Structure 1
């Protein structure tokens, strides 16, 4: 017979109270029910743990030796139960998230601060990576939730929320496009471009949009990171196209960001999890905050 938490709690209560009656009151049990628990524990141990008479109850030598061990076990198990309950109720735990760098550098810090304010015991594992890697991390269960870009075609991923991120053209204030009221597809096709590398969600949108123009593309360079693209634009290499929400767009006072007058320059974004997997309660709480940020 295995030891169980209630029986151990009963032994500790009787030992501390020195009475079955007082221990039963403390545990909100009837005295016969408490006696059954003690007998069950004695059967599991294989030895008598209490000497009883009409006046008092005293631990046997075996009981005295076992009491500190069982008290420690009780303390440890109660801690485990408390921690498990906190995890189940979303009051603690680790949020493993993979997300686009634009989201990580703009919206995510405020969401993390807000979550830590609500749940001080929360911790985060953050992967700020391109969309294809976001999808892979969620699919391989290295991240519980992901914020990805582009159309989600992977059947192993479930979309929890979707929205769009508008793209803007970024260039120096001295650039000829700065004088235009509107920037169209042909304007972009006639100027050198600094585009993020192939394989990124932004590049996929830009390539699809520019394919509608018959003008040949003049791609000056293809950096991986948006901050590098901004630096190249600042140096005068051309115009870059980035999400409007990207922090890099606002990082340089000498640059201008203007909307592109074409409906194709929008990037789909989505919050995803692995299909068929239950999210930890703490992650569910964070998805609610993410959803509000994405949809607004």
Structure 2
């Protein structure tokens, strides 16, 4: 339990700086007897003498008093910093799902900076769980993401609906088809993302069709998925679809849409339901909704 208040700690600093209870009381706009009693109470609670007070002589600070007063100054500086922080406009932080970020985040930041030149914007990338935690903890203001793992405690504005795609090696038996289904893919080794939310979402799709696919690899990044697929290690499944048909190491890759009904998901602007939505926030959403749709 904290027994001393920030106001009482301000009493200590005033006495230390002015060397006089009378002058400190005048600065603090309290009576000198009240200040004297408060100092005595603080010393009793701390269990040490901070000042030597003698009638007709300046107040002196004890060695232990100097050590404690140094920490009190740090505490008051921290408290002032908290109050100053609440008065300063913080940058508006846009989060984006990692696989979408190269396609959407730079465009989103450019849109906001051009439309609202007096505001400051920052961008950050993350997986579904990172972004959800960032929204809840106030580190991120708005997220651009597939709507996976944001149920219940978030608001959203849908930008578009997208189908998943399959990444295959050019010589894969399904590579020449215009469309494939999850039923087609379940017969082949698959490559999933290792993130719990992403893997769980994809597993649920197959489970809903009463399919039990074999997962050959789990990866953290989209390009690792594409590279493994290009080398024939399995079929990658993702909602992100880079425009290139070449993976990082130069191997060719085939991308085929998945047409299974119910497999589509949404790209959305997502924010915390507990966030205060003001007129400016609504303008940000409107600008991004128009630019990214």
Please indicate the TM-score interval, normalised by the length of the shorter structure.
Answer: 0.5 to 0.7
Q: Report SS of the residue matched to 1:288.
A: helix
CA change 1:106–1:200 in 2 (3 A) is farther
C-alpha distance in 1 between matches for 2:123 and 2:102: 11
Aligned partner of 2:214 in structure 1 is: 218
Deviation readout 1:52-73 (Å, 9 max, x if unpaired): xxxxxxxxxxxxxxxxxxxxxx
Answer yes or no: is 1:209 the counterpart of 2:205. Answer: yes
Aligned partner of 1:247 in structure 2 is: 242
Aligned partner of 2:22 in structure 1 is: none
Q: Contact between 2:142 and 2:270, CA under 8 Å: does it hold in 1? A: yes
Answer yes or no: is 1:230 the counterpart of 2:226. Answer: yes
Q: Report SS of the residue matched to 1:241.
A: strand
C-alpha distance in 1 between matches for 2:178 and 2:242: 24
CA change 1:103–1:290 in 2 (3 A) is farther
C-alpha distance in 1 between matches for 2:139 and 2:100: 19
Aligned partner of 1:16 in structure 2 is: none
Residue 254 (structure 2) aligned to one of 253, 256, 262: 256
Q: Report SS of the residue matched to 2:276.
A: coil
C-alpha distance in 1 between matches for 2:243 and 2:134: 25
C-alpha distance in 1 between matches for 2:181 and 2:195: 22
Residue 186 (structure 2) aligned to one of 186, 189, 196: 189
Shift of 1:194: 1.0
Shift of 1:192: 1.1
C-alpha distance in 2 between matches for 1:276 and 1:185: 37
Deviation readout 1:176-197 (Å, 9 max, x if unpaired): 1112343122220111111111
Answer yes or no: is 1:101 the counterpart of 2:80. Answer: no
CA change 1:99–1:287 in 2 (3 A) is same
Shift of 1:98: 2.0
Deviates more, 1:158-167 or 1:107-116: 158-167
Deviation readout 1:80-138 (Å, 9 max, x if unpaired): xxx99xx7xxxxx6221222113311122122223333344543332211222211111
Answer yes or no: is 1:135 the counterpart of 2:127. Answer: no
Q: Contact between 2:109 and 2:122, CA under 8 Å: does it hold in 1? A: no
Aligned partner of 2:6 in structure 1 is: none
CA change 1:282–1:102 in 2 (3 A) is farther
- Structure 1 residues not aligned, in runs of 5+: 1-82, 88-92
Aligned partner of 1:266 in structure 2 is: 264
Q: Report SS of the residue matched to 1:195.
A: strand
CA change 1:166–1:215 in 2 (3 A) is closer
Q: Contact between 2:98 and 2:127, CA under 8 Å: does it hold in 1? A: yes
C-alpha distance in 1 between matches for 2:163 and 2:171: 24
Q: 1:11-160 alignment to 2 at 5 Å?
A: 94-148=91-145, 149-150=147-148, 152-155=150-153, 157-160=154-157
C-alpha distance in 2 between matches for 1:229 and 1:238: 9
Name the Cα RMSD after superposition: 2.9
Aligned partner of 1:277 in structure 2 is: 275
Deviates more, 1:177-186 or 1:138-147: 177-186
Q: Contact between 1:190 and 1:217, CA under 8 Å: does it hold in 2? A: yes
- Structure 2 residues not aligned, in runs of 5+: 1-86
